[in-house]
A and B are shown apart, each in its own frame.
Chain A
Amino acid sequence: MLDLLLTLGVAPVAWALLMLMLAPTRDADRFGAGGALAALVGSCVLFNRVYSGGAVLGWGGNLRADLLSAGTLLLTSTIFCLASVYAGAYLEAEAAKGHLPAGWRLFYWPLTFLFYAAMVWTCTADNLGILWVSLELTTLVTLPLICLARERRGLEAAWKYFVLCSVGIAFALIGTIALYASSLRIQSGGTGSLNWSYLLAHAAQLDPLFVRLAFVFTVVGYGCKMGLVPMHCWLPDAHSEAPTPVSALLSGVLLNCAAYALLRVSAVAARSMGPDRVEPTLLAFGLASVVMASFFIVVQTDLKRLLAYSSIEHMGIVAIGLGLGTAGLYGALLHAINHAVAKALLFLAAGQTVHWSGTKQIPRIQGVLRTGRPTGLALGAASLAIVGLPPFSLFLSEFLVIRAAFLSGHVLAGVALVGALGLTFAGFMSHLIPVLCGERPRGLGELRETRGATTAFVVLGILCLSLGLRVPLVLDRVLHTCIAALAWS
């Protein structure tokens, strides 16, 4: 039988090679979007199989997809597909303005497919070593994408990204090695394994000293990749200097992949050492992120950096949810999904806005809503969604996390979270109301988005809205199954 997981991982690599050959032609855009669509279909097939038949294994047991993996992969593929639909015409227009080199396709398409492949491997790896290797690969593959514009700022951002993320990910490698060492020291003659399924099943027998070492190093390592404060310094640069579709992928899905990795290791650690030793650490990192990010959001003047800081804030909320243990897991997972959708929409809309106004400086962008174009509508809706206003989806998940904080007795954490969210709301709105509703400056041309951009806006907008009205029954069941499988306490 066809090894579905291996196929899903290898096909994007093959497609990247194909794109390398096609890159000089304009057809590359169509093939890129088509390939991304095929990847989405593949993820749907996998999700369906896992949903109806339980975990799927592949490549001699090195790959495994349970509902959490398949769900993360489905979300990744959805955003990747929409970003690819958006990318072609948008980047072509950017290149026409001289912001990108004419040969951007040669870099963009092969590298994004490799980037996507690395994320597929991250989501579907059972072996935590393979997971680490893939997550490190995402850093390396996105380096050239971030400095695609060949500007000084892009190079600076890329170098900072490399230095800080390598330090972080090296910590995670130490953690991964320590986990393997802990499994080698199982009393009853452990043969050692890096598979999270094995580690989770034998969590009680793992060497506790090594598990503690592993957890500390992994939180710092994957937390760095996830943008948690104080390891976040690279994130605003990298996410704001990258070309827009890449920003959407970095913020929307790569952060989730890092959170996924952290969740896998945390689950093993919580099972092995008891949740009490795991949760406070996650909670502290999460709170630090939310509070710090909210201050930076207030003083920000660069539109894309504003969105990047908002990503730090939302990853903080996810970490808080994880840190609340069983009470907060549901909210955390839901929040990760909602944030991915809303942030992708926001980045894509902001990209069109910046392209139209020719600047990222917030005070100089005005009246996007008055252009009467879908971009204005998308930017407005996504902004309302990202600050957590109903009826959009983030309201629901933020509410769930806050409720979990108060119900589980973390009153101070809950108060701090509410305060930071209030500050974020005020900061975001004070920046974006003039951008949306201000007087439209003269001398700017018409805002024209392409069909691809409009499609992406509509799909993401519908997703954002429909998840907000109520949690769909299927999703509800999936989340509950995922939480049960994590076996947190």
Chain B
Amino acid sequence: MDTHTISRLVELASYGVLLVAVAVVAQRNLATSIRLLRLEGFLLAMVSAVIGVHTHEAHLYWVAAITLVVKGLAIPSFFLHVKQRIGLPHDAERSLTVPLGLLLASGLTLVAYHVGRPLALASPWITRDVLASSLGTAFIGLSLMIVCRKALTQMLGFLLMEDGIFLFGITETYGMPLLVEMGIFFDLIVAAGVTGILLLRMGGAFGQVDVDGLSDLRG
């Protein structure tokens, strides 16, 4: 593959990642959102592999494989399982209406473009155009965590944020040192496990996984 193709591929995948983030905001079906995250995992794995081709670094192939397994398969399946165990109704209500959510998402993307622009302009790297969409994805995930009042949706936001940061890291550094990369995956797996258990227990203790019910602690 020549440099141009690689650059196009990575860029295309990064738009896909951003689009998935917007899609998660735009629709209310939790199961679909989790499946969309699976798609995002595949895209990220592809990005790492393609950049691996570009830099001829074997460790990026490892990162791609682990991304495929962890982000593409294991974590989405785990949360689908958790969702079924809690037995949430199919449509997860959000405290945010869809139009408002989309407005927020586009605003955050603009912010990301604004932050990323000087960096992208100064960069000679072929993946420089990805910066804005990666930060945009991370910001959208973050806003889901803060604005939404449903624990499982907040978890979705967390995973989106992780994906955005992963994309940022892989395209701005061509892969962190492998040790650090492993550590980040380890943290992600532990986080998914611990919060999954927490979600199940919250489902048991409150009969609902709704952060609005969590309002004893104030002041």
B-binding residues in A (CB < 8 A): 62, 127, 129-130, 132-133, 136-137, 140, 143-144, 147, 150, 152-153, 155-160, 162-163, 166-167, 170, 173-174, 177-178, 180-181, 184, 192, 194, 207, 209-210, 213, 236-237, 241, 296, 299-300, 305
Nearest residue (CB) in A for B162 is A170
Which residue, A130, A177, A184, has most C-beta atoms of chain B within 10 A? A177
A62 to B182, CA, bound (A): 14
Contact of A147 with B173 in the complex, beta carbons under 8 Å: no
Contact of A129 with B146 in the complex, beta carbons under 8 Å: no
Chain B residue numbers with a CB within 8 Å of A150 are 201, 205
Q: How many contacting A-B pairs (Cβ < 8 A)?
A: 120
Contact of B173 with A299 in the complex, beta carbons under 8 Å: no
Chain A residue numbers with a CB within 8 Å of B179 are 62, 127, 129-130
B198 interface contact, C-beta 8 A: yes
Give which listed residue, B122, B154, B165, B180, contacts A133 with CB less than 8 A. B180
Contact of B169 with A177 in the complex, beta carbons under 8 Å: yes
B78 interface contact, C-beta 8 A: no
Contact of B205 with A130 in the complex, beta carbons under 8 Å: no
A-binding residues in B (CB < 8 A): 115, 118-119, 122, 135, 138, 142, 145-146, 151, 154, 158, 161-162, 165, 168-169, 172-174, 176-177, 179-180, 183-184, 186-187, 190-191, 194-195, 197-198, 201-202, 205-206, 211, 214, 216-217, 219
Nearest residue (CB) in B for A296 is B219
Contact of B173 with A209 in the complex, beta carbons under 8 Å: no
A423 to chain B, nearest CB (A): 17
A137 to B191, CA, bound (A): 9
Chain B residue numbers with a CB within 8 Å of A167 are 142, 145-146, 161
Which residue, B122, B135, B176, has most C-beta atoms of chain A within 10 A? B176
Give which listed residue, A129, A166, A178, A213, contacts B158 with CB less than 8 A. A166
Chain B interface, DSSP helix/strand/loop, else mixed = helix
Contact of B115 with A159 in the complex, beta carbons under 8 Å: no
Give which listed residue, A129, A143, A153, A209, contacts B198 with CB less than 8 A. A143
Asked if A137 meets B180 with Cβ closer than 8 Å, knowing A143-B198, A174-B138, the reply is no
Chain B residue numbers with a CB within 8 Å of A177 are 165, 168-169, 172-173, 176
Asked if A180 meets B173 with Cβ closer than 8 Å, knowing A152-B206, A160-B217, the reply is yes
Asked if A136 meets B187 with Cβ closer than 8 Å, knowing A157-B217, A166-B145, A237-B217, the reply is yes
A160 to B119, CA, bound (A): 34
A194 to B190, CA, bound (A): 23
Chain B residue numbers with a CB within 8 Å of A160 are 214, 217
Chain A residue numbers with a CB within 8 Å of B169 are 173, 177
Chain A residue numbers with a CB within 8 Å of B119 are 209-210, 213
Nearest residue (CB) in B for A128 is B180
A156 to B211, CA, bound (A): 8
Chain B residue numbers with a CB within 8 Å of A210 are 119
Contact of B173 with A155 in the complex, beta carbons under 8 Å: no
Contact of A133 with B217 in the complex, beta carbons under 8 Å: no
Q: With contacts A133-B186, A162-B198, A177-B168 known, what are 9 further pairs, Cβ within 8 A?
A: A132-B180, A147-B201, A156-B216, A157-B217, A159-B211, A163-B154, A170-B142, A174-B135, A181-B173
Contact of B205 with A152 in the complex, beta carbons under 8 Å: yes
B32 to chain A, nearest CB (A): 23
Contact of A143 with B194 in the complex, beta carbons under 8 Å: yes
A358 to B206, CA, bound (A): 25
A261 to B106, CA, bound (A): 33
Nearest residue (CB) in B for A143 is B194
Give which listed residue, B165, B194, B206, contacts A170 with CB less than 8 A. B165
Chain B residue numbers with a CB within 8 Å of A144 are 194, 197
Contact of A300 with B177 in the complex, beta carbons under 8 Å: no
Chain B residue numbers with a CB within 8 Å of A147 are 198, 201
Nearest residue (CB) in B for A60 is B179
Asked if A170 meets B161 with Cβ closer than 8 Å, knowing A159-B198, A162-B195, the reply is yes
